[in-house]
Amino acid sequence: MKPFQIFNTLTRKVEEFIPLNPPLATMYSCGPTVYLPQHLGNMRAYLFVDTLKRAMRLHGYDVRHVMNITDVGHMTSDEDEGEDKIEKTARAQGKSPLEIANFYIAQFQRDLAALNIEPPMNYTRATDHIGDMIVLIQRIIDHGYAYVTNSGVYFEVEKWRGPDRIGRLSRQSLDEQHAGQRLDHSTDKKNPHDFALWVLNQPSHIMQWESPWGRGYPGWHIECSAMSIRYLGETIDLHTGGLDHIPIHHENEIAQSESATGHPFVRYFVHNAFLLGMEGAKISKSAGKFPLVDDLTAAGIDPLAFRLFCFGAKYRSELAFSLESARGAQKNLEYFWEFAYALPDDAAAAAADSDWALDYERNFAAALADDLNTPRALAVALDLVGEAYRRQDRKIWHSLRRLDSVLGLGLEERRLAAQAQFPETVRKLRSERDAARAAKDFQRSDELRLRIIAEGYEVKDTPGGTLISPRRASLS
């Protein structure tokens, strides 16, 4: 199998992925801040992570995956400015921050399930790991890269970066990084670029904890470092997130983690591009109305169509979304479903696939190994089904299921669920009819069609065979 390669933001190159302790691969993903529903732009990022994890597993890696849930400390700016996002929503809705976080965590997990996104090994809530953050902050202070003031504990950015002031991940100087941004800050900071590790003397903030420096709450950036170190170790293989995390959040994670541990923090940073509206603007919460998974369902679109829609574009490419484009992806989804539903029992139960299907498996894996080239992989999967139709040889089910382990369409589960709703006698009639059609015995085929209809089912002829469904009740 071709070595697995991925674009590493640290080096700006596509590199062979070699974990520290193969076949184990450790991966940390920046998860949601749970103050509003996660829109489809957010969900594209989580679909990318899920696809990456599945592709790595296909290539023999044992992926240990952790995703954080931010339920405190994320300000309305990615800097230290504004109000805590959770608390802002809590005040607006007259609820506690815990109620807000729990509500939107539950919605997030429902949306993940609708998109068939596998949960990580751990969802790590920031409020459950305050002690880990305090320990990590103290290590940073002890190593001389943070200082305590009346307003908080701050990381000394310029001391960490050195004379050139260039960020290792963004490759921007501090001046470039903050161009056009307001740098309002506490007057007791040494430098406006310094960011908060722990915030003090904010009596109006609802969520606060005791610390060696006083009662307060953590900054947003320290959360990810503390939780990734806790569960994955001081050096991790992969760290994922959106492109918007590069210049601030991920730069700050590198600085605070490596200043505390003295070890490299991440070996491969992998970032996904944005989902855009049709007008070309990034889909975001700040833009106002944003599309949700529930909007897909309301429009009659299966959420898995959005999964397939995202699979049809490279993760590093911007992707324009519309309901029309999602409906287009649903046609491909239904193409796979139709093949699975109409698959004869003997083809599904065959001990092995036809030899020609193995080439498609190899080409699918090779596409994924080439910097997660999902559009090419999707084309291979569609062509596998098409070739089965062209050859009139449907012994490809084992290969298609292996491809679906990455596509994530749940074809086996759907096939079994479809089969379960039909009695054995009807399934046998369908198999006999498929055999008659293949033999061009159309008289026998028509007779069997009428018998299936008499049993209370509708019959549809497809390239893959006889597709049956319960008859719809007529309207009186």
Position 231 scores a pLDDT of 98
Q: Which of 19-23, 37-41, 44-48, 442-446 has the lowest mean pLDDT?
A: 442-446
* Residue 349 confidence class, pLDDT cut points 50, 70, 90: confident
Q: Give residue-wise pLDDT tens across range 385-423.
A: 999 999 989 899 999 999 999 999 999 988 887 777 777
Whether 356 shows a pLDDT value over 60: the answer reads yes
pLDDT at 476 over 50: no
- Name the more confident of 433 and 376: 376
Q: What CATH number is given for 5-272 in this structure?
A: 3.40.50.620
pLDDT at 77 over 90: no
| pLDDT, tens digit (0-9, with 9 covering 90-100), for 261-275 | 999 999 999 999 999
What is the per-residue pLDDT for 365? 98
Q: Is the pLDDT of residue 257 over 50?
A: yes
- Residue 178 pLDDT grade (very low, low, confident, very high; cuts 50, 70, 90): low
Q: Determine the average pLDDT of the residues in 209-224.
A: 96
| 284-312 per-position pLDDT tens digit | 665 556 899 999 999 999 999 999 999 99
- Cis peptide bond N-terminal to 375, omega within 30: no
Domain boundaries, the chain: 5-272, 293-418, 421-470
pLDDT attached to residue 343: 82
pLDDT above 60 for 474:
no
pLDDT band at 182 (very low <50, low <70, confident <90, very high): very low
Question: Is pLDDT at 223 greater than 80 in this prediction?
Answer: yes
pLDDT at 419: 74
pLDDT for residue 217:
95
Q: What is the mean pLDDT of residues 42-50?
A: 97
Model confidence pLDDT, tens digit, residues 315-330:
999 999 999 999 999 9
pLDDT at position 373, please? Answer: 98
pLDDT band at 475 (very low <50, low <70, confident <90, very high): very low
Share of the chain above pLDDT 70, in %: 92
**Averaged pLDDT, 447-470:** 79
Confidence (pLDDT) at 409: 97
Which numeric CATH code is attached to 293-418?
1.10.730.10
Domains 5-272 and 293-418 share a fold: no
